[in-house]
Structure formats: structure tokens, C-alpha cells
Amino acid sequence: MVLDSFTLDGSAAIVTGAGRGLGAAIAVGLAQAGADVVISARTESDLAEVVAQIEAVGKRAVSVPLDFATDDPARLVAAAVEAFGRLDIVVNNVGGAMPKPFLDTRVKDLERAFSFNVGTAHALSLAAVPVMLESGGGSIINITSSMGRLAGRAFLAYGTAKAALAHYTRLAAEDLAPRIRVNAIAPGSILTSALSYVADNDAMRAEIESNTPMRRIGSPDEIAATAVYLASPAAGYVTGKIIEVDGGLEAPNVALPIPDL
């Protein structure tokens, strides 16, 4: 049956930035589909709640508090091998950068954004690929952003880094085919803690919703469902692609209050 191709039974995954938001939803979604999961974030207390959710669906979870700025991501791979004996799925979710006007964006801001969004993905993937090959192959999923293709004020560092991650995805897919598939998800406005200020601001929420073709803000579960698809045999002929889960955006759906120069 077609539905059988969406299951991840017997698989082992790593999800970074999994203490809350999209990472937590993806980790739980992969577990619901049948995967055991190593989860990572900087804050150990956040991870404990996600572990409980994964175990509640009958799967194994290992939490590894880790700061990509100072720690070796190979620790996550070692944890997967020790706990599960294999590694099949890597979700590079950690990343981000604060909006800044052009004249306030220094070269070091661009460098930090690239390192945090692209460098971290490569560091973990570099450690993971040899083990994934030993396990028979697998799927790497990078979390980029709609701002990697849309132009909005104050997103110079963030948008450039996410655009780089999108093309990194295409290039890595070429290098790792056919045994490891590499794809990315480009979310739009998703109601996580990072967007919590919108939930309490009726005017801003209305602006975002009215400027989104689907007329609503997305759910973390919709990103998790996309990750399950990309990780599963159902996407076995999909690699080097950026899946846009953004409600149909063709322009930013909110404008930051940045004055003209």
C-alpha cells in the first residue's frame, strides 16, 4: 500500500534545534512515523519534554545538549550509533539570525549567519554521512526559509545565509547521490515560539494572514509532516529539492518598520 512507504520503522534520526518549535515538532513527527531519535539543543530542560513526547509514542529518544559554537556535532552521531546502532536521517534545523538594517549589518554579521546556518549543517552532515553509508544510505533534510528566496528589508544576513543553505542542499545532493538524498524545507510564517509575538498582536497577525494566499499562519505539524515525507521511502526519487511550505508566498507577508535611507 502507498501509505506503507511513509513509515520510518527501524530508522534512526538526528534532529538539531529540537528543544522547541519546528525542531521539536519534527522530532516527534519522525517518532510517530516509526523512527528512534537523537535530539539536540542548547537547553537541556527543553529536551526533556520532547523526550517524553517521543517515548509516549513508543519510540526511543536520546537527548544531547549541544552548542554548535563550541561543541563537536560528531557527538550526536556517536550517540545515535551507541543507542540505535545506525543512522538514517539527519535534520539540520539549528540556525537563525536577527534582522538588521543594511547599514547596521557588518561583515561579521554575514559571516556569523553563514556559519550558524550553513556551517553547522555541513559539520553535522560531514560527521553523519560515513555512518549513514554504513547503514545503507538515508536522507538529510535542511531547514531553510522563505526568506532565502524572497526579498524583504532587514533580512540581509539571514536571507543570504538561508539562500546559501538552499544551494548547499542542491550541491550536496549531487555529491551524495544516489545513496543519500539531500533536500530542504523552506517554511514561511509558522506559529512557533519564535513568532509568539504575533499571537498577541491582532493587527500584525491579521496583516500576515491577509498577505498569505492561504490566509493563515502555518502549523509546526505541517513542517513535521513534510519532514516525514522527505525522510521516508515515499520520497525515494526526490533529492536536491527545496520544498516550500509557506502558504503560497510570493512576497514577504509582513514588513519590518525600517525607514528609507
C-alpha cell at 147: 526568506
Q: What share of the chain in percent tops pLDDT 90?
A: 87
* Cell numbers found for residue 55: 517515548
What pLDDT, on a 0 to 100 scale, did the predictor assign at position 193? Answer: 74
List of long-range contacts for 151-155, beta carbons under 8 Å, 24+ apart: 151/252, 152/252, 152/255, 152/256, 153/101, 153/255, 153/256, 153/258, 154/99, 154/100, 154/101, 154/102, 154/256, 154/258, 155/99
Per-residue model confidence (pLDDT) at position 203: 84
Q: What's the mean pLDDT in 31-43?
A: 96
Bridge partner list, 197: none
Digit-coded pLDDT (tens) for 145-192: 999 999 999 999 999 999 999 999 999 999 999 999 999 999 999 988
**Superfamily of domain 2-241, CATH level 4:** NAD(P)-binding Rossmann-like Domain (3.40.50.720)
What's the average model confidence in pLDDT over 35-54?
A: 95
Q: Is the pLDDT of residue 235 over 90?
A: yes
Q: Give the per-residue pLDDT at 230.
A: 98
The pLDDT of residue 75 is 97
- Cα–Cα distance measured from residue 147 to residue 97, given in angstroms and rounded to the nearest whole number: 11
Q: Does position 123 have pLDDT exceeding 90, yes or no?
A: yes
**What is the distance between the alpha carbons of residues 92 and 225, in angstroms, rounded to a whole number?**
16
Q: Please tell me the total number of residues recorded for the chain in this structure.
A: 261
Core vs surface per residue 215-226: b (16+ CB within 10 A) or e: eebbebebbbbb
CB < 8 Å & 24+ apart, contacts of 173-179: 173/239, 173/240, 173/241, 174/240, 176/129, 176/140, 177/239, 177/240, 179/132, 179/133, 179/136, 179/137
Find out whether 31 and 61 touch, Cβ atoms under 8 Å.
Answer: yes
pLDDT at 1: 84
Residue 168 designated active-site:
no
Q: Which residue has the cell 549531487?
A: 174
Which of 41-45, 105-109, 256-260: highest mean pLDDT? Answer: 105-109
The mean pLDDT value of the chain amounts to 95
Supply 244's cell numbers.
516550500
Per-residue pLDDT band at 197 (split at 50, 70, 90) = low
pLDDT at residue number 79: 98
Catalytic residue among 158, 168, 197, 237: 158
Q: What is the pLDDT of residues 14-35, one digit of tens each?
A: 999 999 999 999 999 999 999 9
For the chain, give the percent of residues with pLDDT over 70. 98
The predicted pLDDT at position 167 comes to: 98
pLDDT digit string (tens) for 66-120? 999 899 999 999 999 999 999 999 999 999 999 999 999 999 999 999 999 999 9
Q: Where are the domains of the chain?
A: 2-241
Give yes or no for residue 200 having a pLDDT over 80.
no
Mean per-residue pLDDT for 48-71?
Answer: 95
**Residue 105, Cβ neighbours under 10 Å: how many?**
19
